[in-house]
Amino acid sequence: MDQSKIDALRARPVAAFDHLIDGRHVAASDGGRMEIISPIDGTVLTTVAAGTPADMEAAIASARAAFDDGRWAGQPPAARKKVLLKWADLIEVNALELAVLGVRDNGTEISMALKAEPLSAAATIRYYAEALDKIYGEIAPTPGNILGMIYKEPVGVVGAIIPWNFPLMIGAWKLGPALAVGNSVVLKPAETASLSLMRMADLALEAGLPPGVLNAVTGKGHVVGETLGLSMDVDVLVFTGSGMTGRRLMEYSARSNLKRVYLELGGKSPNIVFADAPDLDEAAKVTAAGIFRNAGQVCVAGSRLLVEDAIHDDFVAAVVKVSEAMRVGDPLRIDTQIGAVNSEAQLQANLAFVDTATREGGRVVMGGSRVLQDTGGYYMAPTIVTGVTRDATLAQKEVFGPVLGVTSFATEEEAISLANSTVFGLAGAAWTSNLSRAHHMVKSVRTGVMHINTYGGADGTVPLGGVGQSGNGSDKSLHAIEKYVNLKTAWIKL
């Protein structure tokens, strides 16, 4: 990565963004605009169209028409594949530009954003492009006078609602499989991270995606997101974001056409360190990265550190030491390891969690405060709170910020019981040299992803999805395709 190229891109003014509807950029029907504040310095970066319900209706109508006339679903798989591969190439060619634009909008440190955002999005689109002509239907083992065939058909119109922490990566997790199998999509980016996703949507058209197959509408969740959720013309909703919004989407479905709703929600993931971990220094390093990168705004962040009594003090000291060496600050500097918090509101919410944790008996052994306020941006010191009890707010509620709660345990059974003591089940880890214990932990911790002797970093070949109140359905891997197809049976008497 070249700092001078990043600086040159940062110096560019950012154009105003409009919706993408039916292949054209269009302003909000009432002319409304929303200011986009950069978390780097709190200044206004640009504006986006403040979508109205009518804008969203137009986008859905366009997607419906595009699906119904077969301009995409009706193309031979090889043709769809070609377009999606071209799209992936364009994302890659424009990767640095997309990454810098995204960082100016959402604050993720560029060293992480380049890989995790455009490059991961390109890899995801390519994965599903390559997969789409390898999906076969089935012939059922019926009696001889019957031919039972099972088709996998696209569902129709997919509504995709995306959060602000990794808009391109998470956007691609939905767009890749949804478009690969022939659906049309209406995309709703998050208010505080729309820009790079809107730009990525433009590149899809440049790659040859027919107009109307991908529409994108910016604006408030409770306005355009609600219209999308309540639409009678949307067949599936896919979502990543908070549990509160997830509940609303299920309600919208119930109040409208019973559309399928797939939710990727938050977590309170346990990172469990046993005294027999193979390398405690490595565990400390990965623990710090697993909670503090992207300022903790990672759904799978290892936000609960569970440490065996015997090593508690030494291990916490090691994590503090590693964390103190992490550079917090300007996310567009390549040596920054902890970028900006996404918004002033999120920063205040993070700080309130620290206050509550202390009131509930926790001890702040590192951080706990806002830093670099003179920049005008939203930065928080990596924060570690020890003595967090099983039922404490910090053990139960997702912060979605750079705050690590530490709890000690005496036995493997206690570790498992603590790990499973929240409503969530997204990710987790156990650090141990004992193979049997490792297997036991994988089986016993209720979660979608369980790491052993590492944290994070799983690639696109494996599913990511939560259990419990962390959600349902999976992103990534071939399993994600299941969300975007209907099974249709043909029962033919011979």
Scan residues 461-480 and list those touching ligand NAD (CB under 6 A). Answer: 466, 471
Residue 299 annotated as catalytic: yes
Stretch that binds ligand NAD, among 61-69, 156-164, 286-294, 404-412 (CB under 6 A): 156-164
Choose between 367 and 466: whose C-beta lies nearer to ligand NAD. Answer: 466
Choose between 53 and 211: whose C-beta lies nearer to ligand NAD. Answer: 53
As to burial, measured by CB atoms within 10 angstroms (0-12 exposed, 13-18 middle, 19+ buried), residue 77 is: middle
User: Contact between 241 and ligand NAD (CB under 6 A)?
Assistant: yes
As to burial, measured by CB atoms within 10 angstroms (0-12 exposed, 13-18 middle, 19+ buried), residue 101 is: buried
User: Contact between 350 and ligand NAD (CB under 6 A)?
Assistant: no
User: Residue 457 CB: number of other CB atoms within 10 A?
Assistant: 9
Interacting residues of 240 by C-beta distance below 8 A, sequence separation 6+:
161, 162, 163, 170, 173, 174, 263, 264, 265, 299, 475
User: Contact between 402 and ligand NAD (CB under 6 A)?
Assistant: no
Stretch that binds ligand NAD, among 98-106, 123-131, 157-165, 409-417 (CB under 6 A): 157-165
Scan residues 20-49 and list those touching ligand NAD (CB under 6 A). Answer: none
Choose between 237 and 316: whose C-beta lies nearer to ligand NAD. Answer: 237
CA atoms within 13 A on the CB side of 101: 23
Choose between 107 and 225: whose C-beta lies nearer to ligand NAD. Answer: 225
User: Contact between 393 and ligand NAD (CB under 6 A)?
Assistant: no
User: Contact between 296 and ligand NAD (CB under 6 A)?
Assistant: no
Q: Which of 222, 247, 255, 488 binds ligand NAD (CB under 6 A)?
A: 222
DSSP 103: H
* DSSP state letters, 238-287: EEES-HHHHHHHHHHHHHTT--EEEEE-----EEEE-TT-S-HHHHHHHH
Nearest distance from residue 255's CB to ligand NAD, in Å?
12
User: Contact between 221 and ligand NAD (CB under 6 A)?
Assistant: yes
User: Contact between 304 and ligand NAD (CB under 6 A)?
Assistant: no
Choose between 182 and 225: whose C-beta lies nearer to ligand NAD. Answer: 225
Helix/strand number for the chain, H first, E second = 16, 21
Count of residues near ligand NAD by CB under 6 A? 28
Q: Which of 17, 72, 87, 164 binds ligand NAD (CB under 6 A)?
A: 164
Q: State how far the Cα of 430 lies from the Cα of 454, in Å rounded to an integer.
A: 8
Q: Which of 398, 409, 447, 450 binds ligand NAD (CB under 6 A)?
A: 398
Which of 264, 308, 398, 412 is catalytic? The answer is: 264
Q: State how far the Cα of 273 lies from the Cα of 311, in Å rounded to an integer.
A: 9
Q: State how far the Cα of 88 lies from the Cα of 279, in Å rounded to an integer.
A: 38
CB contact at 8 A, 11 and 333:
no
- DSSP-assigned beta bridge partners for residue 239: 161, 263
User: Contact between 264 and ligand NAD (CB under 6 A)?
Assistant: yes
Q: Closest Cα partner for 175 from 221, 231, 238? A: 238
387: helix, strand or coil: coil
* Residues tagged active-site: 264, 299
Interface residues with ligand NAD (CB under 6 A) are 161-165, 170, 188, 190-191, 221-222, 225-226, 229, 240-242, 245, 248, 264-266, 299, 398, 400, 426, 466, 471
